[in-house]
Amino acid sequence: MPVNLEIKVPIQNPSKLKTLVKKIGGKLIYSCKQVDVYYKVKSGRLKVRDSKGEKSIIFYNRIEDGNERWSDYEVIKVENPKNWIKFFDNFLDRLIIVDKYRTLYHLKNTRIHFDKVKNLGYFIELETKIVKTKTEARKEFNEICKMLEIDFNKQIQKSYSDILLKQD
């Protein structure tokens, strides 16, 4: 399974940070509405993602309470997420639906997400994929966090699904 290092931080001014991401070389991949349908599973997280930017089934395991959030994940691209949602609905219980507007940039081996999550607000998320070693991934991750002035003390160590479930 691929592995990445992640951080999620609430933000007030996404346009300022987007400008900075472009200035440091970030390439815009897409900007669109994205809906993730989460399912109850024994361990990890399973979701079906439906958007113009990404249509996929995603499974991941992540330790949510450590200083560093390393995530093992698997992504399967699919043609029609709605069909997969209907399929999973036959034998899995839905956990929650996360509705957001996402703008995605790539910089080196890092995905930079700007999310406006319905009922939660604005966030920046970074996901740096291990290409060679954890040490190299951590170095790139820390460099980009520093360039974007990400405050590690403000990070949220939960998924959007967890935060929304807690609100209910």
Looking at every residue in the chain, the average pLDDT score rounds to 95
User: For residue 132, what pLDDT is reported?
Assistant: 93
Q: Which residues pair with 100 in a beta bridge?
A: 34, 117
Could you tell me which of 9, 10, 14 has the C-alpha nearest to residue 105? 14
Lowest mean pLDDT among 58-72, 83-97, 129-143: 58-72
User: For residue 9, what pLDDT is reported?
Assistant: 96
Per-residue DSSP letters for 1-51? --EEEEEEEE-S-HHHHHHHHHHTT-EEEEEEEEEEEEE--SSSEEEEEEE
pLDDT range class, residue 63, cuts 50, 70, 90 = confident
Percent of the chain topping pLDDT 90: 89
CA 168 – CA 160 distance, rounded (Å): 13
* CATH number of the domain that residue 88 is part of: 2.40.320.10
CA 5 – CA 146 distance, rounded (Å): 15
* Domain extent at residue 149: 3-167
Give the number of domains in the chain.
1
pLDDT digits (tens, 9 = 90+) for 71-106: 999 999 999 999 999 999 999 999 999 999 999 999
